[in-house]
Amino acid sequence: MKKYCSLFLIAFSIISFAQGINFTQNSWDATLKQAEKENKLIFVDAYASWCGPCKLMAKNIFTQKEVGDFYNSSFVNAKLDMEKGEGIDFAKKYRVQSYPMFLFINNKGEVVHRGVGYMEASDFITLGTKAKTAIQDFKQLEEAKTKGTLTQEESLQYFSTLLAEDRAKAKKFSEEYFAKKTNSAYTPNEISMMLSVVESPKDANFIKFRKDRAIIEKIFPKNQLDGFEKSIIIRGVLMESLTADKRNIDEKIFLSKLSPYYNPIEANAILLDYKMQRALREGNITDYTELSQKVYANTQNKSSEELNSVAWTYYEKVSDPAALKQAIRWAEESVKKSENYANTDTLANLYMKIGDKKNAKFWALKSIALAKTNNQDFESTQKLLDSIK
């Protein structure tokens, strides 16, 4: 009887497995060879063990019969943990930065289509359907590009496909597209195509962006564009200001290179912020604390998110009681600007760190209430609250 039950359970597990996606256990090289032999694309579930949506896809979507039927007949299916084994190099090569990411790769190792995030079964099957037609679609787009007959929509589609595989080619195509653009009207997708490949203030697309900034501001929020422009300028100036050993910057050159874009007060503030971030990256908490006190001396022009971020960094890295009290003031200012789960949770943790359990409990309760209202996870805050005696 025991033997019969065991065989029954094995048979049941095989049937259940067959109803979902069958993932190969082969190495990546062997998977590429299998795809070539079967003349199929490879579907890769690029996941991380800590990723909640990844687990939901594996539990709720990959196991469905209709999903399994489609993917098993259409692709060679592989799962790779991006933080273990072959997944580490895979993530670097294919620029996997969000999870779950779904990649469709040909037997030459080239990405032809990709998707990201949790999706329902019907959308997931649609994603696979688009991947199957992506190769032929791209060939047609290549032919249209050669003939010079790409429409605006086709240009955007062609760029998106290029960007998934070869950023340098995508950048070149984008710059050529905007160099030929004669009208001053922009769509949101065009702006994304322009800005997504900008790396330096000297890039043609960045120069075009600054020239047409007033027009683009009618489509994208000014504060977002300000942040983008500043980040590109600073990145370029930093690269031009590196010392010979590439380990630091020449501050005089840095300020000089910033002068075409910012006045002396603004430029010095940017330099101070850079030095603060560098101290944090290098683990020099003494210098970081000193510099951050200067950077955040005036909070009037700092956003709620910025203030909460520096306050949380103090919670994680700083132990000096006086500095922690300053962090509490920043977190309180963050709450005044925009009360939310994140900054109230920061306040609860900071108060707990300095031993003020009364205020820690008050802010933990408020934080949990906000999380419940907005359907946010508050497990860590609940643990904090439970620890208060």
Each residue of 243-256: pLDDT tens digit?
A: 988 888 999 999 99
CB atoms closer than 10 angstroms to residue 77: 20
What pLDDT sits at residue 37? 94
The amino acid at 222: K
What pLDDT sits at residue 4? 40
What pLDDT sits at residue 183? 83
Residues 139 and 7 in one domain: yes
- Distance between CA atoms of 250 and 379, rounded to whole angstroms? 46
- Distance between CA atoms of 291 and 303, rounded to whole angstroms? 18
Which of 33-37, 142-146, 271-275 has the weakest average pLDDT?
Answer: 142-146
Mean pLDDT in residue range 122-134: 89
Supply the CATH number for residue 48's domain: 3.40.30.10
Mean pLDDT in residue range 59-73: 93
Would 15 be classed as within a structural domain?
A: yes
Residues 118 and 9 in one domain: yes
| Segments forming the whole domain that contains residue 84 | 2-144
- Distance between CA atoms of 41 and 315, rounded to whole angstroms? 48
Residues 204 and 137 in one domain: no
Residues 125 and 15 in one domain: yes
- Distance between CA atoms of 178 and 191, rounded to whole angstroms? 10
Considering the chain, what percentage of its residues have pLDDT values greater than 90?
Answer: 71
Would 75 be classed as within a structural domain?
A: yes
Q: What's this model's pTM, rounded to 2 decimal places?
A: 0.59
Residues 131 and 160 in one domain: no
Residue 141 has pLDDT above 90, yes or no: no
Output the average pLDDT for the chain. Answer: 89
Mean pLDDT in residue range 64-82: 94
CB atoms closer than 10 angstroms to residue 165: 19
Residues 9 and 70 in one domain: yes
Which carries the bigger pLDDT value, residue 171 or residue 18?
A: 171
The amino acid at 303: S
**Is the link from the previous residue into 188 a cis peptide, with omega within 30 of 0?**
no
What pLDDT sits at residue 332? 97
Q: What are the b/e assignments for 205-223, b being 16+ CB within 10 Å? A: bbebbeebeeebeeeeeee
Residues 86 and 8 in one domain: yes
- Looking at 228, 244, 262, which one is the last position of a domain? 228
What pLDDT sits at residue 304? 94
The amino acid at 258: L
Mean pLDDT in residue range 122-139: 85
DSSP string covering 61-93, please? Answer: ITT-HHHHHHHHHHEEEEEEETTSTHHHHHHHH
Residue 293 has pLDDT above 90, yes or no: yes
The catalytic site residues sit at 51, 54
Residues 23 and 109 in one domain: yes
- Looking at 120, 144, 168, which one is the last position of a domain? 144
Q: How many domains does the chain have?
A: 3
Would 277 be classed as within a structural domain?
A: no
What pLDDT sits at residue 133? 81
Supply the CATH number for residue 363's domain: 1.25.40
Would 51 be classed as within a structural domain?
A: yes
Mean pLDDT in residue range 64-76: 93
CB atoms closer than 10 angstroms to residue 230: 14
What pLDDT sits at residue 5? 42
What pLDDT sits at residue 17? 42
Mean pLDDT in residue range 26-55: 93
Residues 216 and 189 in one domain: yes
Would 264 be classed as within a structural domain?
A: no
Residues 215 and 327 in one domain: no
- Looking at 114, 144, 174, which one is the last position of a domain? 144
Mean pLDDT in residue range 164-187: 88
Residue 166 has pLDDT above 80, yes or no: no
Would 293 be classed as within a structural domain?
A: no
What pLDDT sits at residue 97? 84
Q: What are the b/e assignments for 78-94, b being 16+ CB within 10 Å? A: bbbbbeeeebeebbeeb
What pLDDT sits at residue 12? 37
Mean pLDDT in residue range 367-379: 92
Mean pLDDT in residue range 370-383: 92
Alpha-helical segments (H) within 196-221? 204-211, 213-216
Residue 14 has pLDDT above 60, yes or no: no
Q: Is 180 exposed, middle or buried (0-12, 13-18, 19+ CB in 10 A)?
A: exposed
Would 261 be classed as within a structural domain?
A: no
Residues 8 and 108 in one domain: yes
Residues 128 and 195 in one domain: no
pLDDT tier for residue 6 given thresholds of 50, 70 and 90: very low
What pLDDT sits at residue 191? 92
pLDDT tier for residue 130 given thresholds of 50, 70 and 90: confident
Would 358 be classed as within a structural domain?
A: yes
Considering the chain, what percentage of its residues have pLDDT values greater than 70?
Answer: 94
Residue at token pair 């910025």: 306
pLDDT 10s digits, 324-366: 999 999 999 999 999 999 999 999 999 999 999 999 999 999 9
What pLDDT sits at residue 202? 92
What pLDDT sits at residue 67? 94
pLDDT tier for residue 68 given thresholds of 50, 70 and 90: very high
Strand order in the sheet with 41-47: 23-24, 75-81, 41-47, 101-105, 111-116
- Secondary element (H or E) of residue 47: strand 41-47
